Amino acid sequence: MDTCKRFKKLISDFIEGSLSKSDRFEFEKHLEHCEGCHSVLEREKRLIDGLHHLGHLNTSKDFDTVLRTRIRIESGIGRRRLNELVWTWPAKIPVYGMSLALLLIAFVMVFEQIKEQNKPVIPQPYVNTNWHGGNPDQNTFPKTYTETENVIYMIDPLDPQQLGDGSYNETEGTATFGIKSNFGDSLEDKRETSLQSIRQVVY
């Protein structure tokens, strides 16, 4: 009985081969006649094997794009530009054509309080991630992103059709915008009911 208890305590060492010779010998002898310990050992081996072979998940396709975007926002350039953008928004609109060259920023937006049943059809926004080693394949996916009910979209803040007026809070690192229009019809439809604010994630 005592040996059974001791065996359970040391079963991992037994399987992984890290027991002393004498312990090992003792257990091997014990296993010959103790059915209980024998089946515990068999199950343990099968369990470890099963855990080793659990299916492997891959990150979703747009993982890299979202990460790059978040980093871009975090980086100084992103921060400065956002600041500038928000405060000088009206002035930017007339020179929108000229600012095409600046269409480098994709922003990750968290749309708060989108209820599961109100999930809008995801629009195809401008996503232009001009990133070192960037894979163009990864640049076109808006991200459906769930942290409880939040959905993240990639949108282009330089496109005046996508963003309305907003304000930026330096200390909190957040910006709030309205959605203007043309952000995909279905999203526009849902705006009133499901989108109350957009929070810019700046970490």
Q: For binding to another protein (CB under 8 A), which residues are involved?
A: 8-13, 40, 42-44, 46-48, 50-52, 54-61, 63-64, 66-67, 70-71, 74, 132-133, 144-147, 203
- Rank residues 17 and 133 by Cβ distance to another protein and give the closer one: 133
Residue 121, H or E segment: none
Q: Does 37 bind Zn ion (CB under 5 A)?
A: yes
Give me the least distance between CB of 107 and another protein, in Å please: 15
- Rank residues 88 and 144 by Cβ distance to another protein and give the closer one: 144
Q: Which partner from the list Zn ion, another protein, none does 4 bind, CB cut-off 5 to 8 Å by kind?
A: Zn ion
Query: Do residues 191 and 181 touch, judged by C-beta distance below 8 A?
Result: no
- Rank residues 41 and 127 by Cβ distance to Zn ion and give the closer one: 41
Three-state SS sequence of 177-201: EEECCCCCHHHHHHHHHHCCCEEEC
Query: Do residues 108 and 69 touch, judged by C-beta distance below 8 A?
Result: yes
Give me the least distance between CB of 44 and another protein, in Å please: 6
What are the b/e assignments for 145-172, b being 16+ CB within 10 Å? beeeeebbbbbbbbbbebbeebebeeee
CA distance 76 to 154: 19
- Rank residues 7 and 168 by Cβ distance to another protein and give the closer one: 7
Q: Which partner from the list Zn ion, another protein, none does 11 bind, CB cut-off 5 to 8 Å by kind?
A: another protein
Query: Do residues 82 and 73 touch, judged by C-beta distance below 8 A?
Result: yes
- Residues at the site binding Zn ion, with contacts judged by CB under 5 A: 4, 34, 36-37
